[in-house]
Structure 1
Amino acid sequence: MAVTLRKIQNYAEYIPLRIILFFILLLPVSFAQKIGDKLASFFYYFIPYRKKHVIKELTLSFPEKSQKDIQTIAKNVYKTFFGMIVDVVFFSKMPDEKIKNMMTYDKTIIANAFAKGRGVVLMPAHMGSWEWTALSFSKDYPINITVTKQKNELFDKMLNESRMNKGYTNIYKIYKTPMMFRDCLNALKLNQSVSILSDQDAGRNGMFVPFFGRPASMPRGAALLALKAQCPIISVFGIRQKDGHMNMEIHDIPLPNTGNKEEDIRIINTTYSHQLEDVVRRHPEQWFWFHRKWKTQQMVRG
C-alpha cells in the first residue's frame, strides 16, 4: 500500500513538472531567463525559503558589509539559483558546440593533470551554474559525477538521463557500501575525471576546517580518493559573467605526503576551503548560501 501511494505521489509531482517544462521550452532562452529573474524576486519577497538563514550567514561571513548590501547579495543568491534552473531546463535544446563555447577556462592545469595518466579528481562547488560547469567540461574531457538519488524516482530518471545524454557519466552516492568508491577508482584508472561536490556540510563524519573564520564540516571523500589513486586533484569554480557566459576558475591542490592519512586529508580540505572562500568573497551572490554549511559545527557547539 505504501509503495502504491509513493508511486501515485511521484506521478502527481512528475506530470505537472513535465507539462511546465514543455511550455518553458517553447520560449526563447533569453525570455526564460527574464522569467527566472522575476520568479527569484517573487520567491525572495513572498516565499522566502531559508531567507533568514541566508541573511544570517552572509552577515556573519561579511561583518564589514552593511545590511543593505547583505540584502542585495541575498536577493542575487535567489537569482543565481533560478538562473541555474533555467540552464538545466534548456540543456536538451543546446547543441554541444554552443555548450562548449559557453565556458572559458585555462586548460593548462587540466591538460598537465591528465598527462600523468592516473585520472583527475575534481572538487567543484555550488557556484554559479554548477551543472553548466560539469556539462561544459564534459565536452573536452571524460567526466564522472557523483550524484545523490532523488526521492522521486521519475524525477531522478529524468534528471540523470538528461545529464548522461549530454556527456556525463553518473556515479550514485550509495552510502555505507564500497560501490561508489570502487566505481570512482575504476574511472580514474581509465584516466577519466571524477567530480565530487565538496562544499556541503558533511555531518559528524566530516572533517572540520576553517571557512570564513568558522569551523565547518567538510567531506573527506574527494581527498581520500585522490590519495588512494595518487592522482592530481583540482578545484573548479564556475563563475557566471554578466553576458551570460561562464568562466571556470581552476586551482591545483598539491597532493601531500606527510605519512599520516588524516593529516593529508586535512591539508587537502583546508587548501580547498581557502580556495573556495577566496572565490566566494569575490562573488558572494554566486554561492549556494541556502546550504546549512555550519550546521554540524553549531550542533557540536550547542
Structure 2
Amino acid sequence: MYNWIGQLTQGGRGIRFAAAAAGFMPKPIAFGMCWTIARLLYTFAGRQIKERIRRNLTELLELRHSWKLKEIEKDYFLNLAVTLYELLLESQAGQPGLCPERIRTEGEHHLQDALTQGKGAIVFAPHSGNFFYYYLLLTRRYSCMTVVTAGSPELRPIYEQFGSFGCRGLDYDHTPPLELVRTLRKHLQAGGVVFLLGDFYREAFPEAEFFGKRSRSPGGTAMLALAEEAPVIPCHGYRNRMFRHRLIFEQPRFLNREFATHERETATNSLNRWLERVIREHPAGWFYWFNADERFASKQIV
C-alpha cells in the first residue's frame, strides 16, 4: 500500500499537471474517475494483499458473509482512491475541501464547551475517512497541533503539503520524547487543542488491548489527560457521499476522574474500545486494514 502511495506522491510533473486539471474538473466526473481507479486497484491489487485485507476484516470484525466482506473491500479501495484524489490533486491545486457542504460537523459544541474550562482539549480520533482534512479543519478553527509519524518517505510529501497550509505537527520519529511531551503539555496549558490519532502502531509503544488482542498503542492521550486533567473529545469522521464527509464530536471524557494516574494502560484500553466501535460502524473508511495483523501479538487475550 505504501508503495502505491509513494508512486503517486513522487509523481512529479505528472501529479502537478493532474492537480491543475483537477481544479477545473466537475466533482461528479472526478468521483467517477476515482470509482474507476478504485475498481482497477481492487481487480489488480494482487491476491496476497486482498487475502490479507479479507483475513483482517474477517478476524477483527468477525464477519463470515462473503458478500459483505467483498462490499467492504470495494468500498475500502474507493475511500483510498477518493482520499488520494483529495490529498494529491485537490489539495495541491490549493483547493482543499473544507467548506460546510463538504465536511459537516456534528457535536462540535462539545469541543467548544470543553475549551472554556481552561485545560485545553485532546481530540482523539482514528485514521478514518480523510483524517488529513479533519485536522486541517481543526487547524483553521482552533489553535491546534498534532503528532505525526513522518518518517515514511511515501507519506512525507503529504505532510509537507499540509504543513504549508499551516498545520503544525510534531514528528514522533524524529522529536526527542521529552521535547515532544513538553511541547504538547505547554500547548494544552495554553488552552490549545491537540489532535491525536489513537490507532498508530509502533513496537516501542506501551502494551494495550485492541480488538481483544494484545497489541501496542500510543499512550500519549492517556498520559496527557491524566497529568493535565485535559478533557478528551472522541471524534471520528467518515465519507458519506462522494466527496462529502461527516465529522462527529462526542461528549468529553475526563480520564482523570475515571482512572488513577498509574492506570494509564487501563485508560488506553478504554479509549481503544471506543476506537473499535467506530471502526466497526464504518469499516471501509479505516486506513489500516492492509496491515492490521502486524500490530497484534501472537497470543490472544483470554
TM-score, normalized by length of structure 2?
0.83
Structure 1 residues 34 and 150: CA distance shift in structure 2, 3 A: farther
Counterpart in the other structure of 2:74: 75
Q: How many residues align?
A: 286
Shift of residue 182, structure 1, vs aligned partner: 1.8
Quick one: higher RCO (CA 8 Å, sep 6+), 1 or 2? 2
User: Which runs of 5 or more residues in structure 2 are unaligned?
Assistant: 1-5
- Cα deviation digits, residues 221-270 of structure 1 (max 9, x gap): 2211222222111221111112532111222223235774342x234323
Q: What residue in structure 2 maps to residue 57 of structure 1?
A: 56
Contact 2:121–2:191 (CA under 8 A) maintained in structure 1: yes
Q: How does 1:1-302 map to 2 (within 5 A)?
A: 17-25=11-19, 26-27=21-22, 28=25, 30=27, 31-48=29-46, 50-89=49-88, 90-93=90-93, 99-101=98-100, 102-105=102-105, 106-152=107-153, 156=156, 158-173=157-172, 174=174, 177-203=177-203, 205-211=205-211, 213-251=212-250, 252-257=252-257, 260-263=260-263, 265-290=264-289, 292-299=291-298
Aligned equivalents of 1:201 and 1:291: distance in 2?
13
User: Cα deviation per residue 1:67-92 (whole Å; 9 max; x = unaligned)?
Assistant: 12112211211111121111112124
User: Could you tell me whether the CA contact under 8 Å between 2:229 and 2:254 is conserved in 1?
Assistant: no
Q: Is the 8 A contact 2:31 2:243 kept in 1?
A: no
Aligned-residue offset at 1:137 = 2.0
Contact conserved, 2:149 with 2:171, CA < 8 A, in 1? yes
**CA deviation string 1:137-168 (max 9, x = no partner):** 22221221212224449x73x43342133231
C-alpha change, 1:13 and 1:287, in structure 2 (3 Å) is closer
- Decide whether aligned partners of structure 1 residues 95 and 16 sit closer, same or farther in structure 2, where only a CA change above 3 A counts: closer
Counterpart Cα distance in 2 of 1:183 and 1:232: 17
Which residue identity lines up with residue 141 of structure 1 in the other structure?
A: Y
Q: 1:123 corresponds to which letter in structure 2?
A: F
Q: Matched residues, percent identical?
A: 17
Structure 2 residue matching 1:237: 3-state secondary structure: strand
Task: Note if contact 2:227-2:261 (Cα within 8 Å) is conserved in structure 1.
Answer: no
1:129 deviates by 0.9
Q: Per the alignment, do residues 210 and 163 of structure 1 end up closer, same or farther by CA in structure 2, a change over 3 Å counting? A: closer
2:82, 2:272 → 1: CA distance? 25
State the shift of 1:37 in Å.
Answer: 2.2
Q: CA deviation at 1:33?
A: 3.1
Structure 1 vs Structure 2 CA RMSD? 2.9
Q: Deviation at 1:136?
A: 1.7
What is the CA–CA distance in structure 2 between the aligned matches of 1:66 and 1:59, rounded to whole Å?
Answer: 9
2: CA distance between counterparts of 1:47 and 1:14? Answer: 15
Matches of 1:198 and 1:234, distance apart in 2: 12
TM norm structure 1: 0.83
Equivalent residues of 1:254, 1:268 under 8 A apart: no
Aligned equivalents of 2:262 and 2:253: distance in 1? Answer: 16
Which one is further off, 62-71 or 201-210? 201-210
Give 3-state SS (helix, strand or coil) of 1:248's partner: strand
Q: Confirm or deny: 8 A CA contact 1:55 1:70 kept in the other structure.
A: yes
How far, CA to CA, are the matches of 1:141 and 1:222 in structure 2?
19
Cα distance in 1, alignment partners of residues 274 and 258 from structure 2: 21
Q: Distance in 2 between matches of 1:214 and 1:59?
A: 14
| Stretch of structure 1 that moved more, 174-183 or 79-88 | 174-183
Secondary structure at 2:98 match in 1: helix
Pick closer, same or farther for the CA change 1:184–1:29 going to 2, 3 Å.
farther
Give the CA deviation at 1:114: 0.9
Gaps of 5+ in 1: 1-11
Q: Which moved more, 1:12-21 or 1:38-47?
A: 12-21
Q: 1:256 to 1:163 in 2, by over 3 A?
A: same
Deviation at 1:298, TM superposition (A): 3.2
Contact 1:100 1:137 in 2 (8 A): no
> Which residue does the alignment assign to 1:5?
none
